[in-house]
Amino acid sequence: MALSEREMPRWKMLCVNFQFLAPHRIVAGGSSRYYSVRNALDSITHLEGLVAIHDGARPLVSSKLIEQSFRLAQEKGAAVPAVPLKDSIRKIEGERNMNVRREDFRLVQTPQTFRLSLIKEAYSNSSDTVTDDASAAEQAGFPVFLFEGDEQNIKITAPTDLLLAEALFKNNKN
């Protein structure tokens, strides 16, 4: 797990308080998501197996989605959950804008799961301009398999997202 160095003591305290006993390793995060993932991948010394890369900003991920991502990554090499867009979207070109078919686009989620050798090679051959792991894999020439994501696997980046997450969490507990 990549984590900001200043958050490491807090993480250790949370593990004790909530009796989180699952084996894990923490590495220092980087200046961006790209460098955090790269640091975590560089800390893995072997090349065989699968690795799931997940955003901490998506705390409502289901075990079903995680299991599905591992199963599909084993089969396809790279498995990424994605959901269809609900809203109409517009493409901006300078002063102009135009309608595009929302059916041609997907919102990408995490966990993005890969054969370890594939994603390590992708990160060693990609640039820090990629915004997610699928983009790194694609930039390195690897195909990425999209599968149906989960509408409740939201990314919390704004106060309204937190309100929605709280409502979803409360609903799922019942």
Q: What is the per-residue pLDDT across 90-103, written as a single tens digit (0 to 9) for each?
A: 999 999 999 999 99
Tell me the average pLDDT of the chain. Answer: 94
Angstrom distance (rounded) from CA 58 to CA 109: 9
Measuring CA to CA, which residue among 166, 146, 142, 145 is closest to residue 154?
166
What's CA 1's distance to the chain center, in Å?
Answer: 12
CA 110 – CA 69 distance, rounded (Å): 9
Residue range 82-91: mean pLDDT, rounded: 96
pLDDT score recorded for residue 78: 97
What is each CA distance from 118 to 25, 122, 163, 170, in whole angstroms?
21, 6, 37, 38
Neighbouring-strand partners of residue 106: 84
Identify the CATH homologous superfamily for domain 51-173. Spore Coat Polysaccharide Biosynthesis Protein SpsA; Chain A (3.90.550.10)
Domain positions in the chain: 51-173
pLDDT digits (tens, 9 = 90+) for 106-164: 999 999 999 999 999 999 988 889 999 999 999 999 999 999 999 999 999 999 999 99
Total-model pTM: 0.90
CA distances from 4 to 8, 14, 27 (A): 7, 15, 8
